[in-house]
Structure 1
């Protein structure tokens, strides 16, 4: 009994924290219900139903015909209105909800008769006129279809105007010319910042793991550059707000394998100048996802795994060595031998979602990252093997 009480208390605490963070991981559908003449229609019941999970939320229109359906998970919804006095029921399909956005929908009722059905996706994407912040959203379709070298979802952030990879800190994102250390990365409303290094977890570059999450676990994300609300904060640069995938009422899965070796690479200018051959090097990334319902419309699961194995050369080239005295050449010559940089990483993610009722949803996510980088801490064409070292990273995160 005591264990059950502790478990229920933990769930309640998780639910409370999830509610506090939900503004950063959800979106709203809000708008107005009008009659054929454009006049407001009051006391109409408006219901939004997720086309993926069956989750429903209901609101009543005000005297001005306005309604708000808040805290909806990103995805596609069907919005319906019940038949009102003299008016037929209406159905709006494929209403898209994106993270952190207020999605406006005007529902036009018709005179009594058959249900009026409108496909919102056929009308194109609307503009959020109430937003004062500078932000952009990278949706699921772009995450799935656009290629990225290395499968790091943070590469998609550079699709936003004004954001590039920081040339002074390889792997960081420079927003509007600011240092990459000024950004903040949030995963499902939880901070994923690496406060020790002063940067986002999963930063690519020397001595760092390739990525903390598989790109296949990302549903969509929002890049807030300026003027973002107080719920984010803690960043002078950009706030990158990521939402991970969840299970749905359908069983779905994916698998992938990417392989690259030295046969597709050219010799670097340093190797050409030193008349040295192209060294061997391989990168292999593999993994998959699987998700579905545990109980239809109520409980869902989603899991993902990604592994990376890379064996890349690090040639040491000292162009001026041949002009040095013989004694210096004898001392430094053996230190110019090439060596390999190896990366071995495994990332796991498990997520469970609970639809309790229309006012309460709970999700629990666990992810694990195991990374070993051999000779990764300090490398380059002027760095000898004795000056480098290994990089070992293990992270575990449980959030809700």
Structure 2
């Protein structure tokens, strides 16, 4: 009986894992290798090198000269193509974005394999997407890190993308005229929608901050069947560690002393002071730290390095907290002295437009 329960539990976990893997956040690198006569070249060894971790993958072009690398993490890569009787071709600075395949056109020149021709990806990547009909925009790590964001929420950048209409705030934005329930927000493939109140297109129960996002892709139309629910897709991806240790500690401070007053406060006169209403106070600290690098274990024994690093496993960790103190103007109903003793007085509302006629002996406003 215990063995049966264990097997059933294992099958359930496998089923859940299979469903979770359906939400992919990685991408592909594909391309076609041709010679200078525009003929496809089969049997070319193609190597994909991760610039951050130096991890390598290899593939060989098929009869049509096509190569494909699947399950490629977001980042910068180098591709090296080599075959006998051709010069080695090296393409650097290939940017792989979340849910956006990198398509390369590789041209090999006749010559010795010992010769290397190095070019940048800008001259080798295809300008037109032909593998699908998605309408998507990628907000890369530089935009996430450098653009000023109120509250350090990268999802606010989505409000300025094509096809997104914001009325009063980004949270309630309309994407290509769709309902709020027609969007899907994921973070590393995990759904973070607010499934209780599915009315806002760009709102999640755990929307990540700048420290937790390397980049994200917004698909506004023609999402594939593998995307899960939602016509519009917002896919966040977390930064990852590399060969070296990198990190930072920060504290973003906001103080209302450096802010201007609002338009309505400036134009509202306080009856007691005869002056405009003061600006509301705001004190906010957003502080935290992040660190990433290769996973290492202490090395026992004497001599040699103190840490064992295989450079096969990498980590990234971040922690952020927000402390906010601010003023606000609440609206309250205060009972009169008579009402506090149980003496409630009602006024007649009748005899005016939209109200019934007053009974005999009763006028509008009478107690």
Bin the TM-score by the shorter chain. Answer: 0.7 to 0.9
- Per-residue displacement from partner, 1:170-206 (whole Å, max 9, x unpaired)? 73332123343432101111211121122679948xx
Find the counterpart in structure 2 of residue 185 from structure 1. Answer: 185
Find the counterpart in structure 2 of residue 307 from structure 1. Answer: 321
Find the counterpart in structure 1 of residue 223 from structure 2. Answer: 228
Deviation, structure 1 residue 258: 1.4
Per the alignment, do residues 30 and 121 of structure 1 end up closer, same or farther by CA in structure 2, a change over 3 Å counting? closer
Find the counterpart in structure 2 of residue 80 from structure 1. Answer: 80
Deviation, structure 1 residue 270: 4.7
User: What is the TM-score of this pair, normalised by structure 1?
Assistant: 0.68
Q: Following the alignment from structure 1 to structure 2, what is the Cα–Cα distance between the partners of residues 14 and 152?
A: 33
Q: Following the alignment from structure 2 to structure 1, what is the Cα–Cα distance between the partners of residues 337 and 201?
A: 42
Q: Following the alignment from structure 1 to structure 2, what is the Cα–Cα distance between the partners of residues 142 and 250?
A: 23
Find the counterpart in structure 2 of residue 97 from structure 1. Answer: 96
Find the counterpart in structure 1 of residue 233 from structure 2. Answer: 239
Find the counterpart in structure 2 of residue 250 from structure 1. Answer: 244
Unaligned runs of 5+ in 1: 333-400
Q: Following the alignment from structure 2 to structure 1, what is the Cα–Cα distance between the partners of residues 29 and 234?
A: 22
Per the alignment, do residues 187 and 219 of structure 1 end up closer, same or farther by CA in structure 2, a change over 3 Å counting? same
Per the alignment, do residues 123 and 170 of structure 1 end up closer, same or farther by CA in structure 2, a change over 3 Å counting? closer
Q: Following the alignment from structure 2 to structure 1, what is the Cα–Cα distance between the partners of residues 87 and 16?
A: 38
Corresponding residue SS for 2:159: helix
Deviation, structure 1 residue 54: 2.1
Corresponding residue SS for 1:298: strand
Q: Following the alignment from structure 1 to structure 2, what is the Cα–Cα distance between the partners of residues 297 and 201?
A: 40
Q: Following the alignment from structure 2 to structure 1, what is the Cα–Cα distance between the partners of residues 77 and 15?
A: 26
- Per-residue displacement from partner, 1:17-39 (whole Å, max 9, x unpaired)? 499336x3111111111122221
Is 1:112–2:111 an aligned residue pair?
Answer: yes
CA contact (8 A) 1:172 1:181 kept: no
Q: Following the alignment from structure 1 to structure 2, what is the Cα–Cα distance between the partners of residues 88 and 271?
A: 71
- Per-residue displacement from partner, 1:238-262 (whole Å, max 9, x unpaired)? 2101111111112111222211122
Deviation, structure 1 residue 15: 11
CA contact (8 A) 2:103 2:125 kept: no
- Per-residue displacement from partner, 1:60-100 (whole Å, max 9, x unpaired)? 11112111112211111111123x23112221111111111
Q: Following the alignment from structure 1 to structure 2, what is the Cα–Cα distance between the partners of residues 265 and 125?
A: 45
Per the alignment, do residues 215 and 329 of structure 1 end up closer, same or farther by CA in structure 2, a change over 3 Å counting? farther
Unaligned runs of 5+ in 2: 271-276, 296-308, 341-367
Q: Following the alignment from structure 1 to structure 2, what is the Cα–Cα distance between the partners of residues 102 and 290?
A: 28
Deviation, structure 1 residue 331: 8.5
Which range is displaced more, 115-124 or 141-150? 115-124
Is 1:57–2:57 an aligned residue pair?
Answer: yes
User: What is the TM-score of this pair, normalised by structure 2?
Assistant: 0.74
- Per-residue displacement from partner, 1:246-291 (whole Å, max 9, x unpaired)? 1111211122221112213333415742423334221211112100
Per the alignment, do residues 39 and 126 of structure 1 end up closer, same or farther by CA in structure 2, a change over 3 Å counting? closer
Corresponding residue SS for 1:278: coil
- Per-residue displacement from partner, 1:156-177 (whole Å, max 9, x unpaired)? 112311213353x773332123
Greater fraction strand:
1
Deviation, structure 1 residue 140: 1.2
> Could you say which structure has the larger radius of gyration?
2
Find the counterpart in structure 2 of residue 29 from structure 1. Answer: 29
CA contact (8 A) 1:188 1:242 kept: yes
Is 1:197–2:197 an aligned residue pair?
Answer: yes
Q: Following the alignment from structure 1 to structure 2, what is the Cα–Cα distance between the partners of residues 264 and 179?
A: 38
Corresponding residue SS for 1:156: helix
Q: Following the alignment from structure 2 to structure 1, what is the Cα–Cα distance between the partners of residues 245 and 160?
A: 31
- Per-residue displacement from partner, 1:121-158 (whole Å, max 9, x unpaired)? 45386424213121111111111111111101111112
Q: Following the alignment from structure 2 to structure 1, what is the Cα–Cα distance between the partners of residues 196 and 76?
A: 39
CA contact (8 A) 2:251 2:287 kept: yes
RMSD: 3.4
Which range is displaced more, 97-106 or 275-284? 275-284
